[in-house]
A and B are shown apart, each in its own frame.
Chain A
Amino acid sequence: SAVISQKPSRDICQRGTSLTIQCQVDSQVTMMFWYRQQPGQSLTLIATANQGSEATYESGFVIDKFPISRPNLTFSTLTVSNMSPEDSSIYLCSVQASGEAKNIQYFGAGTRLSVL
Chain B
Amino acid sequence: AQSVAQPEDQVNVAEGNPLTVKCTYSVSGNPYLFWYVQYPNRGLQFLLKYITGDNLVKGSYGFEAEFNKSQTSFHLKKPSALVSDSALYFCAVRLQIKAAGNKLTFGGGTRVLVKP
Measured CB to CB, the residues of A under 8 A from B are 1, 4, 6, 31, 33, 41-45, 48, 56, 58, 92, 94, 96, 103-110, 112
Query: Are B102 and A96 in touch, CB under 8 angstroms?
Result: yes
Interface of A is mostly: strand
User: Is B43's beta carbon under 8 Å from chain A?
Assistant: yes
Task: With A107-B43, A109-B43, A110-B43 as known contacts, state yes or no: A43 contacts B102, CB within 8 Å.
Answer: no
B114: shortest Cβ distance to chain A, in Å? 20
A-contact bits for B36-70, CB 8 A (1 contact / 0 none): 10000111111001010000000000000000000
Query: Are A92 and B44 in touch, CB under 8 angstroms?
Result: yes
User: Is B87's beta carbon under 8 Å from chain A?
Assistant: no
Query: Are A107 and B44 in touch, CB under 8 angstroms?
Result: yes
Task: With A107-B44, A109-B42 as known contacts, state yes or no: A43 contacts B49, CB within 8 Å.
Answer: no
Contact of B104 (CB < 8 Å), options: A45, A56, A109, A112: A45
Task: With A42-B109, A48-B101, A48-B102 as known contacts, state yes or no: A104 contacts B43, CB within 8 Å.
Answer: no
Interface of B is mostly: loop
User: Is B74's beta carbon under 8 Å from chain A?
Assistant: no
Ordered by A's residue number, 19 sampled pairs between the chains whose C-beta atoms are within 8 Å are A4-B43, A33-B102, A41-B108, A42-B108, A43-B104, A44-B106, A45-B103, A48-B101, A58-B103, A92-B44, A94-B44, A103-B49, A104-B46, A105-B34, A106-B46, A107-B45, A108-B43, A109-B42, A110-B42
In the complex, which residues of chain A have a beta carbon less than 8 angstroms from the beta carbon of B104?
A: 33, 43, 45, 105
Given A31-B102, A103-B51, A107-B45, 15 other A-B residues pairs in contact with their CB atoms under 8 A: A1-B46, A33-B104, A42-B106, A43-B44, A45-B103, A92-B43, A92-B44, A103-B32, A104-B34, A105-B102, A107-B36, A107-B46, A108-B43, A109-B42, A110-B43
